[in-house]
């Protein structure tokens, strides 16, 4: 069973930056077919950032201007660069991917591969 592997979470202070990374070992060719989701306590999981094979990116309104989704195509690594973090960014962050992805989407059913999540706490 293929799992994505997230890393980079932790506890940080408000206003600081943090970068999460996601490695998709073993997934069939999957360039620019990934997204980040997050789930805060007591809330549903929501899409944060996504990128599709055309290089088009999509961001949730709550993170626009603060989060970016750099992609290391050579290593097929995906990052979530988070700046000016706020307490409301506190959540468990999940990486998702699918080689069939056509467009950057926050529709969870479009992603067949998920990571276990990494916790980000902002205080």
Range 73-85 average pLDDT: 83
Read off the pLDDT of residues 30-74 as tens digits, 9 standing for 90 and up: 667 889 999 999 999 999 999 888 888 999 999 999 999 877 666
pLDDT higher for 28 or 104? 104
The sign of the CA dihedral 113, 92, 44, 58 is negative
Per-residue model confidence (pLDDT) at position 58: 95
Q: Which helix (H) or strand (E) holds 38?
A: strand 34-39
Please state the rounded mean pLDDT for residues 11-27.
Answer: 87
């Amino acid at each position: 069973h293929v799992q994505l592997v997230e890393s980079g979470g932790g506890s940080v202070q408000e206003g600081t930056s943090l970068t999460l990374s996601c490695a998709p070992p073993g997934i069939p060719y999957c360039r620019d077919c990934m997204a980040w989701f997050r789930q805060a306590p007591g809330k549903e999981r929501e899409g944060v950032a996504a990128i599709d094979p055309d290089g088009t990116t999509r961001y949730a309104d709550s993170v626009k201007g603060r989060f970016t989704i750099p992609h290391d195509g050579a290593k097929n690594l995906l990052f979530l660069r988070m700046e000016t973090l706020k307490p409301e960014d506190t959540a468990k962050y999940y990486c998702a991917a699918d080689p069939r992805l056509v467009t950057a989407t926050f529709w969870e059913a479009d992603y067949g591969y998920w990571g276990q999540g990494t916790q980000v706490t902002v205080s």
